[in-house]
Amino acid sequence: QQQVKQSPQSLIVQKGGISIINCAYENTAFDYFPWYQQFPGKGPALLIAIRPDVSEKKEGRFTISFNKSAKQFSLHIMDSQPGDSATYFCAASSGGFKTIFGAGTRLFVKA
Amino acid sequence: ETGVTQTPRHLVMGMTNKKSLKCEQHLGHNAMYWYKQSAKKPLELMFVYSLEERVENNSVPSRFSPECPNSSHLFLHLHTLQPEDSALYLCASSQGGRLYDGYTFGSGTRLTVV
């Protein structure tokens, strides 16, 4: 019940295309869903986050879609660029100090 | 210097060695974390310190020993490690009372146990 399942494991997208990464969770107590971006040799960095009281949040080319009834959320990267090539982690938290991370998606954007 | 700084960046140690990883944060945060990152696996929470008190210990073997002398510094002391302990060890910090701010991670220490 504490898992966050992330898919796909890897993704190749053409420059200008849309990258979509999906996550699913079981624990309905989760109330904060961040996405982290990690470049090689760096730690993960907070990219965008959503709370379950909204169904969508957009920041520039990055959008989180949230489906509370299905217990799923996804990251959409519009107009994907080679500089977006990185590993993306979804996560979920219910307060306190525990955040549960997905296994990560390695995105490669072809020029 | 701002952010979360981890040293060393790379570490190779034998199974009988003792070494320490260091983390320092300059963000004024009051919670600090150690995570283990292995290939194709979710980030594994190891330890959490809030206001210098350990609040989480996620069934980590005793060969890993954390220390938090103050709210800006966190150490991970290592001894008699196993080859399967080879991984990227990430330190993170957060403002514990503000759930929606997320974590700030350091760049990690790449540990290889030989």
Beta-bridge partners for B35:
B45, B90
Contacts of residue B27, defined as CB under 8 A and 6 or more positions apart, other chains included, come to B2, B3, B4, B93, B95, B104
The average confidence (pLDDT) of chain B is 90
d(CA B16, CA A6): 37
Contact (CB, 8 A) for B78 and A22: no
Q: Which residues of A touch B104 (CB under 8 A)?
A: 45-46
Condensed to tens digits (0 to 9), the pLDDT of residues A49-104 reads 999 899 999 999 999 999 999 999 999 999 999 999 999 999 998 877 778 999 99
* pLDDT tens-digit series, residues A10-26: 999 999 999 999 999 99
The four Cα atoms A66, A67, A72, A77 give a dihedral, to 10 degrees, of -40
Whether residue B1 is predicted with pLDDT greater than 70 in this model: the reply is no
Would you state the pLDDT for residue A1? 60
Q: How many CB pairs under 8 A join A and B?
A: 57
Q: State the Rg of chain B over Cα.
A: 13
Q: What is the mean pLDDT of residues B68-89?
A: 95
What residue type is assigned to position A44 of the chain? P
A residues 56-85 near B, CB within 8 Å? none
Q: What is the pLDDT of residues B26-53, one digit of tens each?
A: 999 989 999 999 988 889 999 999 887 7
pLDDT of B110: 97
Contacts of A51 in chain B (CB under 8 A): 100
Burial track A16-42 (b if 16+ CB lie within 10 A, e otherwise):
eeebbbbbbbeeeebebbbbbbbeeee
- Rounded to the nearest angstrom, the minimum Cα separation between A52 and chain B is 12
Residue B39 near chain A (CB below 8 Å): no
Q: Concatenate the DSSP letters of all residues of chain A into one string.
A: ---EEEE-SEEEEETTS-EEEEEEE--TT--BEEEEEE-TTS--EEEEEE-TT-SEEEETTEEEEEETTTTEEEEEESS--GGG-EEEEEEEE-STT-EEE---EEEEEE-
Instruction: Tell me if B92 and A42 make a contact (CB, 8 A cut-off).
Output: no
Is B108's Cβ below 8 Å from some Cβ in A? yes
Q: For A1-5, A105-109, B45-49, which range has the lowest pLDDT when averaged over its residues?
A: A1-5
The answer to whether B87 contacts chain A (CB < 8 Å) is no
pLDDT band at B99 (very low <50, low <70, confident <90, very high): low
